[in-house]
Amino acid sequence: MRTLQVAQGVAWRTLHNVLTNPSLLIPSLVFPLFFFTAFAGGLSNIRNVPGFDFPSGYTAFQFVFVLLQSAAFGGVFTGFGIARDFESGFARRLLLAAPNRVGIVGGYAVAAAGRWLITATVLTTVALLVGMNVGGSGVDLVGLFTLALLLNLAAVLWAAGVAMRFRTMQAGPVMQFPVFVVLFFAPVYVPLALLQGWIHGVAKYNPLTRIVEAGRGLLSGDPTEVGLAYATGVALVLLFSLWALRGLRSAERAG
Judged against a pLDDT cut of 60, whether residue 231 lies above it is answered with: yes
Pick from 82-86, 89-93, 117-121, 227-231: least confident: 89-93
Domain holding 172, by residue range, is 2-254
Looking at residue 255, what is its pLDDT? 65
**Helices 207-220 and 198-205 sit at what angle, rounded to 10 degrees?**
80
The end-to-end CA distance of the chain, in Å, is 25
Contact criterion met (CB below 8 Å) for 203 and 186: yes
pLDDT tens digits for 36-86?
998 888 777 888 888 888 989 999 999 999 999 999 999 999 999 999 999
CA gap 117, 139 in Å, rounded: 18
Looking at residue 6, what is its pLDDT? 85
Judged against a pLDDT cut of 80, whether residue 114 lies above it is answered with: yes
As a whole-number percent, the residues of the chain with pLDDT over 70 amount to 99
| Nearest of 192, 186, 225 to residue 209 by alpha carbon | 186
- pTM for this one? 0.94
Residue 198, number of CB atoms within 10 A of its CB: 8
Looking at residue 94, what is its pLDDT? 87
- Measuring CA to CA, how many Å separate 105 from each of 110, 156, 246? 9, 9, 11
CA gap 164, 31 in Å, rounded: 26
Judged against a pLDDT cut of 90, whether residue 120 lies above it is answered with: yes
Pick from 88-92, 119-123, 244-248: least confident: 88-92
- Measuring CA to CA, how many Å separate 98 from each of 75, 76, 93, 108, 209? 23, 24, 9, 14, 39
Torsion on CA atoms 192, 173, 83, 104, rounded to nearest 10:
20
Residue 73, number of CB atoms within 10 A of its CB: 26
pLDDT tens digits for 176-212?
999 999 999 999 999 998 999 999 999 999 999 999 9
Number of structural domains found in the chain:
1
